[in-house]
Structure formats: structure tokens, C-alpha cells
Amino acid sequence: MGRKILFITTDQQRYDTVGANGGLLSRTPVLDRLADEGIRYERCQPTSVVCMPSRASMLTGQFPTTHGAWMNGVPLAVDAPSVAESLHDAGYATALIGKAHFEPFMDPFGRFAENSLANLGVPTVEQPWFDGRRGVHRGFDHLELATHGVMGPLHYAKWMHEHHPEAIDGFYSVVDSDLNVNAARGGDTDAPQVKVNPVPREWYHTDWVADRTISWLKQQSHEQDWFCWMSFPDPHHPWDPPRSEIGRVPWRDVPLPANYPETSAEREALLDAKARHWRAWYDGRVVSNYEAPAHWIPATLTANQVREVNALNAVEVELIDEAIGRVLKAVSAKGWGDDVDVIFTSDHGELQGDFGLLFKGPYHVDGLLRLPLIWRPALSSKPEPSVVHAPVSLVSLAATFLDVAGQPAPAWVEGSVLPLNDDDAHARSFSSTVTEWDSALFGVDVHVRSVVTSDYLYTEYLPGTMHDGSEGELYDLSDDPLQRVNRFDDPAMTNVRATLSEGLRAHEDRPGERATPGVLMAPV
């Protein structure tokens, strides 16, 4: 019997929402304990700040420019490499419960397996694998899927419609009648993507994901090794947690984020110092990407709306923490308490009021780039608790899972096993990570590359419809942790900029085979 792996992801959760990371709004005792017992990463970056490319990187261990799912709406090739396939080959039972999103949600023709499983009533389907064999879909024996609401063909929506149809209308409608991300307002402050949801807590998707995970775990024999990806759709918007829970964090008591500029003059000055698309979005002149509501203008965001959104976000984070606690209890009840590696992270962050903005897009700052990452190795391996300050990336997850399982990393994996501590990080040259952005939607093309080191966050904007290739951002993380002072054009930073730019060139020129970039099939 080897080490089992519980891989827990959330969607769109910032680093600073976890108590162990200094977060004060939400109480996260379960995550905090995992961090105390294991390894907490101070600076973890995604490969992309939107769901599909980032999640595909977790599965493949590759950057988006390698795996080919370069923006939301571009499906990951069904025969792309998958760490779940490798673990399946190693004898692991494999499950993904919750949000997958390797394939577009908007799929009226039912062409993608993720969208067909619930209707087919089967746990998985056979598909081609990377190495030419055929096997279970992306290596998972069992998939039970959910997303942010109750519409669509996934398991959670089907379950809600079958068992609790009276609760459907309580949820916020994620998209509007034009299938754009909805700008409809709600709550006490008329905030976008906010709604008071009367759904009982036990029917909400957070508890559903935990319930279904526990159910799957109970079916495994004690000796069976397993890899379970438990993937919560929250705290991604809409912010519509169960009404019974919203009193946990009264929004009027929520302080404004450190990076929320309270006056419009301050906001605009900060945005004007960044690349031009920041201010264009803020003013409502351009919505560069589908993930932000098409009919919402960030300049209209009020301080109280930021407070209410952050309060509801914190409630959702607390519900997730409690759901994880229930699952860990079930793991212990099966006698696996010492034999399970638990890895917790999110696919990308959320601006949550930083610079007067909400949601996400091609804005590579800590709100979107800096993620919670906690690895509590199996207690039987006698882990030494540590905090890793070196920059690491979600691209390392696949290699890490395989290492836990005692398997060598295949050639297609681009990331190295996560470091156990700073000495390990130093010895294995964990010194920088890269985040990519590419989008091309309705005539707006944006292409961004960022590199983060312990000292700097450096971004280059490649030529597109918004940028001519000459723009960029450079932040000195040691004296400007909120990334307010863009030093891209500062002559004193010429050498720093050249070194970081070389890092990006090295990333572009990295060896290895690249998949043909996929084709955009849907907005998301």
C-alpha cells in the first residue's frame, strides 16, 4: 500500500483568503492545520489566470503554450498527457469530483465528454490516451462534475433539478440572456454577480462536492491506492452562498483591501501607470476577455460593493474549509489518516477590489497571480513542517503527484517536484515562475508573459490589438508588494529588466514538443 493523494482545488481563490497566509476575513482552521503540519508555499503562481489553461496545466504538468488549451473555450485535446493516466497505470483508483473544465461548458452539440457523462449515467468513458492506448477519460475512473450554478448538463445541476427543483431559482444566473457573464446586481449593495440564495446549505455545491467525494472514498477498499481530485467551484463568482451562512461575515464590518484605492483620482493614477488595457477596462471602453461581465464598468464599483463581495467570498471560503474537514474526517474513519498526502490550491486568483477592479483578465498582479498552496505530505512519511518562500508554479503539481506515488516523471512533464523547504528550492534552482496569457475574442487580441522571482514581478505585453509590443510592467516586490509603482521605464531598472526579459526568452525557447494550439470552440 502506497501513499494516497487527496488533491483539493478551489476556483478563483486568492492567497490572502487563507488564515495560514495571514487572511483575517475567513476562518480556515482545517487548512491552517494542514499548513502547520506540512509545507506552506508563500509564492505559488498559476500558468494562466483563467480556469481552462490553468487546470489543464495541473493535469498535464505543462504550460498552456505546450498543452495547447491557451484560453478559456479552447478544449484540452482529449489525448493530451494526463497525470491521472500515469497514476491509473500505477494502480491508483482515480476520481475527479467537482469542477473539471478541461472542455468548454457551452456545448449544445454535446461533443465533450465532461458534458455528456451525467446524461449517459456512466462514471467515465473510454477515450484515446496520449501514448496511443485507449482508457478511461483523461485517466479518471470516476467523474462527478459541477460548476458555479445549477444550469447545464453536469451532475450537480442534474441532481438539483431532479431532487430540489424548488431551489433552482435561488441561484444567481451566471450568464445573461446573451450568454455573456452576467452583470446583474444584487445583495445589499447592488454588487455584480451577487445574490442572496435561500438554498439550504446541504444542497449547495460546496457540500455536494464533499458529499460525493466521501461517497467515492467509502467505496474504495482499505488497501487501494487512490488519487482523488476534489474540486470546489467556489469562491469563484457568482457570490451566492446559502443565505443561512452569510451572517458569518457581516459585510459592513469588512475592511477595504489594502490595495483598494479609495478615491477615483488615486485609482486612475495607478491604472494609468500600467499598460493601457487596465484603464480601458476600468473606463468601460474595452472588455478584453469573456471572464468579466460584458456590461459592467469597473469604474462604477463602490467601496461597499467591495466589502460585500469580499464578505460573501469569505463565507464561501469558510464553507469550503468545513467541507474539507468533513472529507478528512471520512479519510481518518477509513483508517487512512497517516497515509494520505493532501495538496490544496486554487487555479487562479480574483482581483476583489484591488486597483478598484473585480473579476479577472490579463492583469498579472498578485490578486490573480499569487495562490494559496499547501502540501501536507502523508504523516507516515514524517514530514518536516516548513514554509517555502521561493517561487513555485502549479506546473509542478503533476510531477509532485507522481513522486508521491513513487513514479518517475514522464518526459512530457515540464515542472519539477515541489520543493520541501527553501534549502531544497535553492538546491534545485526554484528561482522564477512564468505565467502566460493569450486571448483572441471578437477582434480583441491580448498576449502577456510574466515572470516572478523572489524580488520582482515583470510583465511583457506582446503585440496584439491593445498593445504594440513595447509595453510592460515591472514591480519591485521587496519595496512595492502591492505592485503600485510600475518601474518598467525606470532607467535604474534597465539591467534588472534585461535579466527578467531573458528569463521570458528562455521560457519561450524551452525544449520539448508543443501541442498544436487548440481552436476556440465556445466562450467558456
Partner 1 sequence: MASLRYERRIAASADAVWDVMCRPESIPDWFPGVVSCSVVGKSRTIVTASGLEMPEEILTIDPLLRRFAYRITAPAYRFHLGLIDVIAIGPRDSLCIYSTTAEPDALALIIAGGTLGALEEIRRLAETSGKE
Which residues of the chain form contacts with partner 1 (CB under 8 A)? 73, 104, 106-111, 115-116, 119, 153, 175, 177-180, 290, 442, 519-523
Q: To which residue does cell 515572470 refer?
A: 451
For the bound state, the minimum distance from the C-beta of residue 177 to partner 1, rounded and expressed in Å, comes to 8
Distance, in Å, from the CA atom of 270 to the CA atom of 275, rounded to the nearest integer, reads: 10
Contact 185, 191 (CB under 8 A): yes
The dihedral sign for the CA sequence 261, 262, 265, 268: positive
For the bound state, the minimum distance from the C-beta of residue 81 to partner 1, rounded and expressed in Å, comes to 23
H-helix or E-strand spanning residue 387: strand 386-388
C-alpha cell at 50: 483563467
C-alpha 2: how far from chain center: 28
Contact 524, 290 (CB under 8 A): yes
For the bound state, the minimum distance from the C-beta of residue 119 to partner 1, rounded and expressed in Å, comes to 8
Output 288 or 450, the one with its CB closest to partner 1.
288
Contacts 24+ apart (CB under 8 A), 31-35: 31/321, 31/324, 31/344, 31/372, 31/374, 34/342, 34/344, 34/374, 34/376, 35/374, 35/376
Output 104 or 349, the one with its CB closest to partner 1.
104
Output 90 or 179, the one with its CB closest to partner 1.
179
C-alpha 123: how far from chain center: 24
For 176, counting Cβ atoms within 10 Å of its Cβ (0-12 exposed, 13-18 middle, 19+ buried), the class is middle
The per-residue DSSP string of 5-55 comes to EEEEEEES--GGGSGGGT--SS--HHHHHHHHHSEEEEEEE-S-SSHHHHH
For the bound state, the minimum distance from the C-beta of residue 372 to partner 1, rounded and expressed in Å, comes to 32
227-232-237 Cα angle (round to 5): 155
The Cβ of residue 77 has, within 10 Å, a number of other Cβ atoms equal to 18
Output 109 or 382, the one with its CB closest to partner 1.
109
Output 339 or 438, the one with its CB closest to partner 1.
438
The beta-strand segments (E) located in 46-180 are: 93-98, 126-128, 134-136, 142-145
For the bound state, the minimum distance from the C-beta of residue 153 to partner 1, rounded and expressed in Å, comes to 6
For the bound state, the minimum distance from the C-beta of residue 226 to partner 1, rounded and expressed in Å, comes to 31
- Largest Cα–Cα distance of the chain, in whole Å? 64
For the bound state, the minimum distance from the C-beta of residue 523 to partner 1, rounded and expressed in Å, comes to 5
Picking from 110, 100, 108, the residue whose alpha carbon sits closest to that of residue 69 is: 100
Q: Hey, which residues does 343 pair with through a beta bridge?
A: 7, 375
For the bound state, the minimum distance from the C-beta of residue 522 to partner 1, rounded and expressed in Å, comes to 5
Output 20 or 440, the one with its CB closest to partner 1.
440
Output 114 or 207, the one with its CB closest to partner 1.
114
Output 15 or 290, the one with its CB closest to partner 1.
290
Output 109 or 265, the one with its CB closest to partner 1.
109
Distance, in Å, from the CA atom of 161 to the CA atom of 164, rounded to the nearest integer, reads: 6
For the bound state, the minimum distance from the C-beta of residue 289 to partner 1, rounded and expressed in Å, comes to 13
Q: What is the DSSP letter of 216?
A: H
Output 177 or 478, the one with its CB closest to partner 1.
177
The dihedral sign for the CA sequence 378, 384, 386, 388: negative
For the bound state, the minimum distance from the C-beta of residue 116 to partner 1, rounded and expressed in Å, comes to 7
Q: Hey, which residues does 7 pair with through a beta bridge?
A: 229, 343
For 263, counting Cβ atoms within 10 Å of its Cβ (0-12 exposed, 13-18 middle, 19+ buried), the class is exposed
For the bound state, the minimum distance from the C-beta of residue 436 to partner 1, rounded and expressed in Å, comes to 22
Q: Hey, which residues does 145 pair with through a beta bridge?
A: 98
Output 74 or 319, the one with its CB closest to partner 1.
74
Output 411 or 519, the one with its CB closest to partner 1.
519
Output 19 or 523, the one with its CB closest to partner 1.
523
For the bound state, the minimum distance from the C-beta of residue 208 to partner 1, rounded and expressed in Å, comes to 22
Distance, in Å, from the CA atom of 144 to the CA atom of 81, rounded to the nearest integer, reads: 21
For the bound state, the minimum distance from the C-beta of residue 129 to partner 1, rounded and expressed in Å, comes to 21
